[in-house]
A and B are shown apart, each in its own frame.
Chain A
Amino acid sequence: MQKSAQSSYAPSSPITSQPLIGTLKFSFILLIFIILCSACGQTGESTDKTQWSQSDGIPDNEDIVSIQIEPAAIILKAGQTMQFSVHAVAKSGHEYLNPSLNWQVDDSKVAALQSDRQVYAVAEGTATIQAQWQGITSNPVEVIVPGDPMFEQQWHLKNIGQNGGTYGEDINVEPVWRGGHKGQSVLVAVVDDGLEAQHADLAANFSELSWNYADFSNDPSTGVHGTAVAGLVAARDSNGIGGLGVAPRAQLAGYNLLENYSTINEADAMLRHADQVAVSNNSWGAVDGTGELFRSYQPWREAVQTGATQGRQGKGVIYVWAAGNGGRMEIDNSNYDGQANNRYVMAVAAVGDDGVRAGYSEQGANLWLAAPSRGYSGQGLLTTDRTGERGFNASVTHWDVAEKDFTRYFSGTSAAAPVVSGVAALVVDANPALTWRDVRLILARTARVNDPNDADWQSNQGLEHRYPINHKYGFGVPDASKAVALAQTWQPVSQEYQYHSPVLWAETAIPDNDSNGIISNLYIPEDLVIEFVEVVFDASDHGNQGDLSVSLTAPSGTQSILAQAHSCRAEPCSSRYINWVFGDARHLGESSLGNWQLHVNDTRAGYTGSLRSWSLRVYGRKNG
């Protein structure tokens, strides 16, 4: 195959060119086309196929064997023009860059050919474009004219450096939509303070399975926060309004738990319509920024266990949880939250438009993923907002977008979690047979390493795959395109096994103000391929849990920081390590067999206590 020294796509000979006469002829044809096209629009008539014939550039004696076309953009706003690049290969071995070809668009109401290789977006919808030459047809390209005028501000979906963001720091979702996966038939529960049912950008996806815990109706149009969360999951696409969600055709069931919170309602919200709910988004939790240990309660724990193991016809509800916003000064760690660190949820941290951890986002060995939100630049996520003056964007917030039914400042791990929920919905759309465990594994396996210069990144010792892990980011930022691609070929994981070690009664004093601390060892005789580890830790006689640092080292050598010395809002901390359950995601794929080591130290003088006991619970599948 001959190649030009200038460009791999440039023809070796002859080089296509556009002589002046050709240009004039071309302009005349273009003018005729525009007149015809505008007349078409005025009368409302349309044709099924539009043809544009330009055959300059490839000699008649060349036998073309393949044509590849590539669009400059997949998504176009109505009124925009977009150019294709063309790579044609001849039997002779010659390659032609951007030769003139015959083009066709399968829906001229959506897009029309403006000139050779140029497509003009007419109105919202989807059009498939192909080029032909000598009976050879190119690959089809689907161009989306979403009619979502704020899409270009949604950097979390497509980061092209808007307002100083870092190009590519997004979830790579466009190819998924192009492939036809938008979350159709997937029900996502948004457990929050409400969801505005009649919001113009949500109404089409609103599910009657919604529930209002305050008035026992199916209309949860209360609160403010949940409407913004819902828009990030599934604001409707192609409706000429606002932006779009990650899974813009998923169905949204709003459960306004926070309007009438109680432990019974909380458990109910985890299980309501669990036979149909695929993803449960939870952008809420215990109060952040206190440094205290806030355990979960039995009804909730039983509910998420039931939902994950029995929901969705046995495939399980996928619970997504905001990791927590108490990360400033490292006061809170996501592992101090007994919901965010539960093995049935995926805890999601927040990164900014530069891919770097948001200052408020909590670290933790329990984190599964990180996702876009408002970071150091201050650029939040654009999403739906309560209509009119009822939302975040009211008349006083003049810095926000002009359309008061939307906001571009949604932030917190609250904003990061629904981005992951949307990706999970796309994965389930691509392969509805996947279990909750499959979806978690797929998202971990395909996550992208963000903030690659961060010193905490390391690879674990996974048997089949060495997962990159980071206490700030879990396995990284989801890559929707890779996740959906993997979902389509994924072989379901085998049956889950658990190993619960005996309780090791250490009863060992933790030396005060001593960084060496104590080490305790526990041997696990079972060889499981790990999917999650729980450490049950008791130092209940210690006077200040905030003095303690706790880390776990696996037989593989992979270390997890479970707790770090920290201050509490009120000193000393009130809570104690009474059989506290830490969650640890970092050993994913590693073998459980061997010696596990717990290191506890107290680096602050004053309060004292002991490591009373600890044990391990390993969840995974049998190795071999």
Chain B
Amino acid sequence: MAKWFTLILGLVACLSANADPLYWHDGDGQWQLWPSDDEIAVFTPVPASGRFKATDMDAAVVKAYPSMQIWKLPPGAKPFASKALQKQAWSPVFYEFPNKGGRRMVPTGGVLVRFKPDWSRDKIAAWLANRGLKNMEFVFNISHTVAVESSAGLASLTLANALHKEQAVIHASPNWWIEVEPR
């Protein structure tokens, strides 16, 4: 897992320095992500005040969904450095298009992995186990595809991109939360 941790640190650096573009893979396609510089997603329940206050962070809930909330950060906030946020389950917020265009996207934890069609279930399980990865328990049933456990946030994106490069894997993508709504 040390490899994943190093990659996460690298991604944090990317986000902080606004350096190289971020990508993820949807099937065979590679898609760029645009991180929000003033929003984060928090998976713990909304504070009654609708506001999160700490000495190093003062954020307001701008949109609450059943499974998480989008918090607006004050200018200059450094969420990765926030001690207060270390106690929360949270993730950066990404957009599909530049300039906060398109839908918000948040890696909620878990990676969807498609293995080669000639790989048996046992072989997939052994391969995952060798890498310290666990299968999520799901009824989900698409052939040679498994959901692998990971933390929410960057860990999920990092793991997905790393797995996508593996010989045994056809494609791997983070388990995204995306803005959808009833019609």
- Listed in ascending order, the chain A residues whose CB lies under 8 Å from chain B are 192-193, 214, 222-223, 225-226, 258-264, 267-268, 271-274, 283-288, 290, 292, 294, 297-299, 301-303, 306, 322, 324-325, 412-414, 417, 570, 573-575
Contacts of A260 in B (CB 8 A): 66-67
- Listed in ascending order, the chain B residues whose CB lies under 8 Å from chain A are 26-27, 29, 65-67, 96-99, 101-103, 108, 110, 112, 136, 138-143, 145, 147, 171, 173-183
B58 → A minimal CB distance (Å): 27
B92 → A minimal CB distance (Å): 16
Considering the complex, give the chain B residue whose CB is closest to the CB of A271. B141
Contacts of A288 in B (CB 8 A): 181, 183
Q: Which of B99, B102, B103, B179 has the most CB of A within 10 A?
A: B102
Decide if the interface of chain B is mainly helix, strand, loop or mixed: strand
In the bound complex, do residue B103 and residue A286 qualify as a contact, i.e. CB atoms below 8 Å apart? yes
B97, B99, B136, B178: the one within 8 Å of A263 (CB): B178
For the complex of A and B, 4 pairs with smallest distance between CB atoms? A574-B101, A574-B97, A298-B27, A225-B182
Contacts of A222 in B (CB 8 A): 66
Contacts of A298 in B (CB 8 A): 26-27, 29, 171, 173
B19 → A minimal CB distance (Å): 22
Alpha-carbon distance between A193 and B112 when the two chains are bound, in angstroms: 23
Alpha-carbon distance between A613 and B26 when the two chains are bound, in angstroms: 21
Alpha-carbon distance between A294 and B66 when the two chains are bound, in angstroms: 22
In the bound complex, do residue A306 and residue B141 qualify as a contact, i.e. CB atoms below 8 Å apart? yes
Considering the complex, give the chain A residue whose CB is closest to the CB of B97. A574
Known A222-B66, A285-B183, A288-B183; contact A263-B175, beta-carbon cutoff 8 A: yes
In the bound complex, do residue A294 and residue B112 qualify as a contact, i.e. CB atoms below 8 Å apart? no
Alpha-carbon distance between A303 and B139 when the two chains are bound, in angstroms: 12
In the bound complex, do residue A299 and residue B112 qualify as a contact, i.e. CB atoms below 8 Å apart? yes
In the bound complex, do residue B183 and residue A284 qualify as a contact, i.e. CB atoms below 8 Å apart? yes
In the bound complex, do residue B99 and residue A261 qualify as a contact, i.e. CB atoms below 8 Å apart? no
In the bound complex, do residue A283 and residue B178 qualify as a contact, i.e. CB atoms below 8 Å apart? no
Known A260-B66, A261-B67, A299-B142; contact A284-B173, beta-carbon cutoff 8 A: no
Q: Which of A271, A274, A574, A575 has the most CB of B within 10 A?
A: A574
A-B contact pairs, 8 of them (CB 8 A): A193-B182, A263-B176, A283-B183, A292-B102, A294-B102, A306-B141, A574-B99, A574-B102
Considering the complex, give the chain B residue whose CB is closest to the CB of A576. B97
A262, A274, A292, A574: the one within 8 Å of B98 (CB): A574
A214, A299, A303, A412: the one within 8 Å of B183 (CB): A412
Contacts of B98 in A (CB 8 A): 574
Alpha-carbon distance between A222 and B66 when the two chains are bound, in angstroms: 10
In the bound complex, do residue A264 and residue B101 qualify as a contact, i.e. CB atoms below 8 Å apart? no
A529 → B minimal CB distance (Å): 30
Contacts of B110 in A (CB 8 A): 262, 264
Alpha-carbon distance between A177 and B66 when the two chains are bound, in angstroms: 38
In the bound complex, do residue B138 and residue A264 qualify as a contact, i.e. CB atoms below 8 Å apart? yes
Contacts of B101 in A (CB 8 A): 292, 570, 573-575
In the bound complex, do residue A268 and residue B103 qualify as a contact, i.e. CB atoms below 8 Å apart? no
In the bound complex, do residue A287 and residue B103 qualify as a contact, i.e. CB atoms below 8 Å apart? yes
Considering the complex, give the chain B residue whose CB is closest to the CB of A273. B139
B27, B139, B175: the one within 8 Å of A271 (CB): B139
B143 → A minimal CB distance (Å): 8
A273, A284, A299: the one within 8 Å of B180 (CB): A284
In the bound complex, do residue B66 and residue A259 qualify as a contact, i.e. CB atoms below 8 Å apart? yes
In the bound complex, do residue A263 and residue B67 qualify as a contact, i.e. CB atoms below 8 Å apart? no
Alpha-carbon distance between A284 and B141 when the two chains are bound, in angstroms: 22
Alpha-carbon distance between A284 and B182 when the two chains are bound, in angstroms: 4
Q: Which of A258, A263, A301, A306 has the most CB of B within 10 A?
A: A263
Known: A214-B66, A214-B67, A574-B101; 17 extra A-B contacts, CB below 8 A, are A193-B66, A258-B182, A261-B65, A261-B180, A263-B112, A264-B147, A267-B112, A271-B140, A271-B142, A274-B141, A286-B178, A287-B180, A288-B181, A294-B96, A306-B142, A414-B183, A570-B101
In the bound complex, do residue B173 and residue A263 qualify as a contact, i.e. CB atoms below 8 Å apart? yes
In the bound complex, do residue A414 and residue B102 qualify as a contact, i.e. CB atoms below 8 Å apart? no
Considering the complex, give the chain A residue whose CB is closest to the CB of B182. A225
A362 → B minimal CB distance (Å): 10
Known A283-B183, A414-B183; contact A261-B177, beta-carbon cutoff 8 A: yes
Contacts of B147 in A (CB 8 A): 264
Known A271-B140, A299-B173, A574-B97; contact A192-B112, beta-carbon cutoff 8 A: no
Alpha-carbon distance between A289 and B102 when the two chains are bound, in angstroms: 11
A327 → B minimal CB distance (Å): 11
A210 → B minimal CB distance (Å): 13
In the bound complex, do residue B66 and residue A262 qualify as a contact, i.e. CB atoms below 8 Å apart? no
Alpha-carbon distance between A413 and B182 when the two chains are bound, in angstroms: 10
Contacts of A294 in B (CB 8 A): 96, 102-103
Alpha-carbon distance between A306 and B176 when the two chains are bound, in angstroms: 21
A313 → B minimal CB distance (Å): 14
In the bound complex, do residue A284 and residue B181 qualify as a contact, i.e. CB atoms below 8 Å apart? yes
B138 → A minimal CB distance (Å): 6
Alpha-carbon distance between A412 and B181 when the two chains are bound, in angstroms: 12
Alpha-carbon distance between A272 and B139 when the two chains are bound, in angstroms: 7
B103, B140, B182: the one within 8 Å of A267 (CB): B140
Alpha-carbon distance between A259 and B66 when the two chains are bound, in angstroms: 5
Known A262-B177, A413-B183; contact A303-B103, beta-carbon cutoff 8 A: no
Considering the complex, give the chain A residue whose CB is closest to the CB of B66. A259
Q: Which of A214, A267, A299 has the most CB of B within 10 A?
A: A299
Alpha-carbon distance between A93 and B96 when the two chains are bound, in angstroms: 77
B152 → A minimal CB distance (Å): 10
Contacts of A268 in B (CB 8 A): 138-140
Alpha-carbon distance between A297 and B103 when the two chains are bound, in angstroms: 13
Contacts of A286 in B (CB 8 A): 103, 178-181
Considering the complex, give the chain B residue whose CB is closest to the CB of A283. B183
Considering the complex, give the chain A residue whose CB is closest to the CB of B137. A216
Contacts of A297 in B (CB 8 A): 26, 173, 176, 178
In the bound complex, do residue B182 and residue A414 qualify as a contact, i.e. CB atoms below 8 Å apart? yes
In the bound complex, do residue A287 and residue B96 qualify as a contact, i.e. CB atoms below 8 Å apart? no
A484 → B minimal CB distance (Å): 27
Contacts of A271 in B (CB 8 A): 139-142
